[in-house]
Structure 1
Amino acid sequence: MTVEIANIVGSGDLGVELDVEPLEADLSTPYSEYDPSNYHGLYVRLEENGPLITVYRSGKYIITGCASMESLHETNEEFLGMLADLGVTEEDTQTGFTVENVVCTAMLDELVSLNALAIGLGLEVTEYEPEQFPGLVYRPEEIGAVLLVFANGKMVITGAKDTETAESAYEYFQSKVQELV
């Protein structure tokens, strides 16, 4: 089974304060929304159903909804180019853009008993309260990710900074499960 990317989140800082209301009016994108009575960020999509960019008055911004690293970086570059064209930023503005979270999905080869898994993996690194949440939360210190495991074998891997970490987390978990059976 392969690990598949579900969402990648990145963030940056333009280094300038923004007046987001006029910025929304100046943008020529398929979607933009600024409603300060609802939320203080400006939502922007550069293409219909594309990644969502949330821009804040502080100049910080977050890009969500990318299915690949390439898409994340392309969206960032296009967004920065658009702001430079509007005169909001300089052409070569350094934003310190970083990947914040890579969310992936995977599937185990078998159904799992979450109660047995919680005990086998260790109660100090697992959370399983089926009355609160139907999955087991696994937070091993050895890997830079958190795994959500469901009884049907589906998994969500979150908190990774890159796809390699997510894949390593999956392989690590698979090896732990094999040790328990």
Structure 2
Amino acid sequence: MVGSGRLGNKIVLQDVVNKTNKRAEMRKNCVLLKLTHPKSSAMLFPSGKVVCTGQFTEEGLKAAAQKVAQLLKHIDFHVSLSDFQLENVIGRADAGFRILVEELALRYPDVTTYEPELYPALVFRMAKPKVHILIFARYINASPSSRGPMHHVHASGKVVFTGSKETRHLRDACANISIILNEFRDMKAQVET
């Protein structure tokens, strides 16, 4: 899950890095804080925005953001957390079988993007619920020599869901995509194993 909120004041990023005893790491346009309790990561921006990730509940994310505010108060920043909201819920699943991703992409060209040279997953853009589903692929070399051309691309069965602010949307998307993925189950792989 990813959540964000406002701290009510501008933040001098270098001051955070200097005063947190190596708990903060300067990035290009923010500071990355690693928290241990609750275990999470937080990005602090100069505007006073905080983005937290690494928790599995909205309450856990809010607790992480409150911990950041508490830490900043401890090092003399005048902040208070407000406007905290869930930004993105991310889920993962395993279909339990290999998937013929090239065939899936050919059957659903309007809602899929598959460019294995650029990204190792097929992206399936589900309309209802509005969720992006990443179906991860790996190359299987069907030629006798290891230097031969790649002939088949199968998905490992690993699936990631993203783009929603509600966990129920992920559950619905999982149920919907399961039906579709079953149509593209690699039956040959089942016989070989």
TM-score (normalised: structure 2): 0.73
Larger Cα-atom Rg: 2
Residue 86 of structure 1, CA deviation: 4.6
Contact 1:41 1:57 (C-alpha < 8 Å) held by counterparts:
yes
Residue 175 of structure 1, CA deviation: 2.6
Contact 1:15 1:95 (C-alpha < 8 Å) held by counterparts:
yes
Question: What is the match of residue 100 of structure 2?
Answer: 113
How is 1:34-53 mapped onto 2 (pairs within 5 angstroms)? Answer: 34=26, 39-47=28-36, 50-53=39-42
My pick for the range that moved more, 52-61 or 126-135, is 126-135
Is 1:128 matched with 2:132?
no
Is 1:166 matched with 2:159?
no
Residue 64 of structure 1, CA deviation: 2.2
Cα–Cα, structure 1 residues 111 and 33, in superposed 2: closer, same or farther, change >3 Å? closer
CA distance in 1, matches of 2:25, 2:184: 50
Instruction: Output the amino acid matched with 1:9.
Output: V
State the SS of the aligned residue for 1:129.
coil
CA distance in 2, matches of 1:153, 1:180: 11
CA distance in 2, matches of 1:142, 1:157: 13
Question: What is the match of residue 23 of structure 2?
Answer: 31
Q: Deviations over 1:72-111 (max 9, x none)?
A: 1221122223334555335xx3521112222221011322
Which has the larger strand fraction?
2
Choose the corresponding residue for 2:88, options 101, 104, 108: 101
RMSD across aligned positions (CA): 2.6
Instruction: Output the amino acid matched with 2:181.
Output: V
Cα–Cα, structure 1 residues 108 and 59, in superposed 2: closer, same or farther, change >3 Å? same
Could you tell me which runs of 5 or more consecutive residues in structure 2 were left unpaired when the two chains were aligned. 137-154, 186-193
Among all aligned residue pairs of Structure 1 and Structure 2, give the percentage whose two residues are the same amino acid: 27
Question: What is the match of residue 66 of structure 1?
Answer: 55
Contact 1:110 1:152 (C-alpha < 8 Å) held by counterparts:
yes
